[in-house]
Amino acid sequence: MLFDGRIISGITVFVAVARAGSYLRAADQLGLSRSGVGKAISRLEERTGMRLFDRNARALKLTDQGRTFLEEATPLLESLGRIATPSTPASIKGRLRVSADGAFGPYLVIPMLPEFLEQHPQVKVDVVVRDRVDNLLLEGFDVAVRFGEPDPREVSKHLLCQSRVITCASQAYLEQMGAPTSPDDFVQHHRCIRMIDDTTGKPHPWNFLNAAGQHRTIIPDCGLTLNDAPSLVAAALSDYGIVRLLDVVAADLLRSGRLVEVLPDWNHRRWPGYLFTRADLQPSLAVEAFKKFTIARLSQQGAS
């Protein structure tokens, strides 16, 4: 006997809600109304005899039954999708919500998107750039790409690149204040521009590494702290002080001479960049396509 098609339809809506974290975002992805999504979930709960979500004014969370049902239903639904959908890039459909930090977003991800969208014309991408570490589950993101080592709970991660941390300043600043000769010079003799650590709310310490493997950690008494890479660049170009930037951010500025690298012997530290997806869900075809494309492009650029 054929399986009830209404059940399959309800499961499709259920998986979309679980991935998006809200009825509204799932409705947008599915082309349905919010009330239509709510009714589909209610009918599915009635047919299965399970309570799938805990609903309150602040959040929509899976129940234990819902989590088990999601784990069992998602692979089956994905298999049906693969059978019914051609695997060519042009045939893949979906809307991706991508979270990126202020370095990865503007300097690596966004420049690649025109080519990705040209190859996948039925995929739509929403990119949110901010340095705050997002909760993929609660905030409805499909993918996050960012530098550093965020809390790995509930996410799968893939190393994309290792970016060198470069200490630099404008030529005008160096002519006024002189170039540092060692990391210790930053403690008292220079104006420094530092990045806020979103997790601690405090500026990141400056960790230096030389070719011999020696480490130095400096905590400059900085007059200016900022929360994203474009702001760090703007402050450095305004001749305020010395800044530390990832090479993907600094490369063009160094080539043009707008910024000058200082202490090159101590600029061997590398900062990892990762692509994160939710660990509790089977990735959609659109997510897998974005992941495959991003890995390939960064590899071609020599960034990984």
The mean pLDDT value for 21-33 works out to 84
How many whole angstroms separate alpha carbon 171 and alpha carbon 123?
44
Q: What is the pLDDT of residue 79?
A: 72
Q: What is the pLDDT of residue 285?
A: 85
For residues 101 and 132, the model is more confident at 101
Out of 22-26, 49-53, 279-283, 287-291, which region has the weakest mean confidence (pLDDT)? 279-283
For residues 58 and 34, the model is more confident at 34
Amino acid symbol at 57: A
- Run of H or E residues at 177: helix 171-177
Q: What is the DSSP letter of 204?
A: P
Q: Is the pLDDT of residue 290 over 50?
A: yes
Percent of the chain's residues with pLDDT above 90: 49
Q: What is the pLDDT of residue 151?
A: 63
Delimit the CATH 1.10.10.10 region(s) of the chain.
5-84
Q: What is the pLDDT of residue 134?
A: 63
Q: Please state which CATH class domain 89-161+272-300 belongs to.
A: alpha beta
Cβ atoms of residues 217 and 206 within 8 Å: yes
Range 162-271 classified under CATH 3.40.190.290: yes
Helix, strand or coil for residue 301?
coil
Residue 187's pLDDT band (cuts 50, 70, 90): confident
Q: Which fold has domain 5-84?
A: Arc Repressor Mutant, subunit A (1.10.10)
**Quick one: 73 exposed, middle or buried, by C-beta within 10 A (0-12, 13-18, 19+)?**
buried
The pLDDT mean for the chain works out to 86
Cβ atoms of residues 161 and 246 within 8 Å: no
Q: What is the pLDDT of residue 118?
A: 95
Q: Is the pLDDT of residue 260 over 90?
A: yes
Out of 79-83, 184-188, 241-245, which region has the weakest mean confidence (pLDDT)? 79-83
Delimit the CATH 3.40.190.10 region(s) of the chain.
89-161+272-300
Q: Is the pLDDT of residue 304 over 50?
A: no
Cβ atoms of residues 130 and 147 within 8 Å: no
